[in-house]
Chain A
């Protein structure tokens, strides 16, 4: 017996050696050596221009490439010095003076100056550029007048370069959350000479963001970009804080949500953009340490085109909103940690409580629909629900379709499109109902409510309401916090009643994070500066 066993030893040894040799190292394991972060971004960014980009895929990349006056503390959100080393606020709270670092550099070696910021803000406020978030700058004195062409002289706008390294920003009103606003990517500077070299600065398709052209001031710079394949950013040695940046490269991989999950398990990704719901549910039950699911300021909603019949009728929109069982959708399709959205602003946005939540009320919905001329759904034309490719969106659309059919006897047609196509159709208002998730850019109800201002470029519903605009503007100047909140509540109630939007769910940001990723923290805004991230094997 023993003899037999000893005879086996050489074979066993060969087998073991063979097994050891055949074990390949995965990209994630190799990354420990090279400090290369592999990030899934969910889709191919429509632009890498910080002033033009919309949506999470682009912004995830932009956060690595650029840096604003202030940047965000990776763990808890307070703004920390970025390009600006320090700042002063005037006694009336209206004028901010930023002192820029002398050693802040663009990736081509030019210093980052106050003039770059003036140029950038002028660019954003040029209507021709069509910057989707230009409205974020309207708190700056005369900014809106310049944007609306009532004013043609940019020197009258409250952004002034006092000298190379001192920038003064003057606001319309004292805005307590101004510094929080500044960490948004829309406030990032761009390099004037590069943009001018490659064309008109006011052309949103200016090719300056191509690899080889792009000059940036963030911790990383663009190395290569292959459409729908990979975007590689490599460490910027000229970045002022380069010695603290520990990653050497970041690979941004645009993959579908389903593909990401496979890639993650195959050791090809450190971070996913999202996790398919069924998978997340399972991992949650297993208490997987790799699953990160934390509340964020996101509202999953349907945006309605109020310019096209039958959705131009307020009663129809309200009926559609009332006929949805948000709890069912949230519990079964969106993860169970999500919360049904009976209103538009999540509680986490400064402990906001809605004054007029929309509860399911089928009787009222039927009555409104009949009043609008479609008793029991008769004669109601089929409406299209546009969503981008993802299982969750498909399921929500099919559930809503069925609820509208069952409760109101009307037909809806879910229509699936790719992310870029969806954005293009949104922008040209070529839709009836479009799926939208919006992540707030700062922790305040205003961050979500301002999306539906009449002049907000994000507001593709075509809904314009002077009373709503007035309430939001009034809230902006209100210094009494409880009065300000009441104004916000009133505005939200109006939004819910007019229903250019149908809120569906507030959901947790759910991602997969590899154990070796350090210095990355979930937060309410879902933005992650890359400065502090590094990779270390877990013990």
Chain B
């Protein structure tokens, strides 16, 4: 095969992703919201904690684009800052899950035998604990705050990742190129890192994209229970929790954060969907 006239698998995937309309829409929306959150300090003249109690809750107007909450804090600013936290929790917890889950699953699948069985039983034991209760217990032990929150969520999210990677590795390690590497005398570490992991990367990326929204949802759920972020910092889940109480009197306090949150969740899910199609090698084989 001539290297020059074939396009790389990544470029092919990108091409396929571009064909996926919903995924592209998701990507664009996500970029917009992400960018807004990122440049929040330059977008508004308010801070997330600055109160104007005398003002109270007012509906959207020229000074406060999305209105204010009951303590007179600018809602637009709080949504952007809250988005930062939500995104950060989503990304970091996913990164934690990757960092633990991928090596763990790869090792387990590659080594096989007794080690594999032991490592998987550990995963299953943790998996069998009720998910939310486990997170809540962890938070009670480690305390409240952003870091414990990330830790607690990351600590449960890596399980699914580890299982998935193990399954993929089991399949890949039987293939000829891995056997060839063995025969050539490459070390286990090198085989894992150079040959096996890159081959399961597609699946991992898809899984990670879908982990981000589920983590964000979990964070908002914990915030909703009052276990999330420490005031005055806020997150989307926290904002929605505040908004629900005064749904009738100050509907904007619920509606705007909810819009931001759901659009982001939808976008992430569409993107994940698109990526799954784009990165699946079987699609290529079918052509």
| Interface positions of A (Cβ within 8 A of B) | 258, 276, 278-279, 281-282, 325, 328-329, 331-333, 389, 391, 394-395, 397-399, 401-402, 405, 413-416
Contact = CB atoms under 8 A, between A and B. Distances in A.
Given A398-B71, A398-B232, A402-B49, A416 B245 contact: no
B54 interface: yes
A332 B56 contact: yes
A325 B54 CA distance: 11
Given A258-B245, A405-B49, A328 B70 contact: no
Interface string B31-62: 00000000000000000011101101100000
A282 B249 contact: yes
B168 to A, nearest CB: 43
Interface residues of B, number: 20
29 contacts: A278-B70, A278-B250, A279-B248, A279-B249, A281-B249, A282-B249, A325-B53, A328-B53, A331-B54, A332-B54, A332-B71, A333-B70, A389-B226, A391-B245, A391-B246, A394-B231, A395-B70, A398-B51, A398-B231, A398-B232, A401-B231, A401-B232, A402-B232, A405-B49, A413-B144, A413-B230, A413-B231, A414-B231, A415-B144
A494 to B, nearest CB: 31
Contacts of B56: 332
Q: Which 6 A-B pairs have the closest CB atoms?
A: A278-B249, A332-B53, A328-B53, A416-B226, A278-B246, A402-B51
A394 B71 CA distance: 11
Contacts of B49: 402, 405
Most B CB within 10 A of own CB, among A278, A325, A401: A278
Nearest to A332: B53
Contacts of A276: 245-246
A395 B249 contact: no
A48 B252 CA distance: 42
Contacts of A394: 231
A208 B248 CA distance: 44
Nearest to B56: A332
A255 to B, nearest CB: 14
Contacts of A413: 144, 230-231
Interface of B: 49-51, 53-54, 56-57, 70-72, 144, 226, 230-232, 245-246, 248-250
Dominant secondary structure of chain B at its interface with chain A: loop
Given A391-B245, A395-B71, A329 B53 contact: yes
A389 B225 CA distance: 11
Contacts of A281: 249
A389 B246 CA distance: 15
Nearest to A281: B249
A391 B242 CA distance: 8
A32 B57 CA distance: 39
A92 B125 CA distance: 76
A280 B250 CA distance: 14
Contacts of B248: 279
Nearest to A417: B226
B184 to A, nearest CB: 59
A389 B226 CA distance: 9
A329 B245 CA distance: 19
A394 B232 CA distance: 11
Contacts of A397: 231
Nearest to B51: A402
A310 B135 CA distance: 32
A332 B73 CA distance: 13
Contacts of B249: 278-279, 281-282
A390 B230 CA distance: 16
A402 B47 CA distance: 12
Nearest to B70: A395
A5 B144 CA distance: 68
Given A398-B232, A401-B231, 19 more contacts: A276-B245, A279-B248, A325-B53, A331-B53, A332-B53, A332-B54, A332-B56, A332-B71, A333-B53, A394-B231, A395-B71, A398-B71, A401-B232, A402-B49, A402-B71, A402-B232, A413-B231, A414-B231, A416-B226
A258 B242 CA distance: 12
A58 B168 CA distance: 59
Nearest to B250: A278
Most B CB within 10 A of own CB, among A276, A332, A333, A399: A332
Contacts of A391: 245-246
A258 B244 CA distance: 10
B94 to A, nearest CB: 27
Contacts of B245: 258, 276, 278, 391
A199 to B, nearest CB: 32
A415 B139 CA distance: 14
Nearest to B72: A332
Contacts of A328: 53-54
Contacts of B250: 278
A215 to B, nearest CB: 40
A399 B231 contact: no
Contacts of A332: 53-54, 56, 70-72
A399 B51 contact: yes
Contacts of B144: 413, 415
Contacts of B57: 278
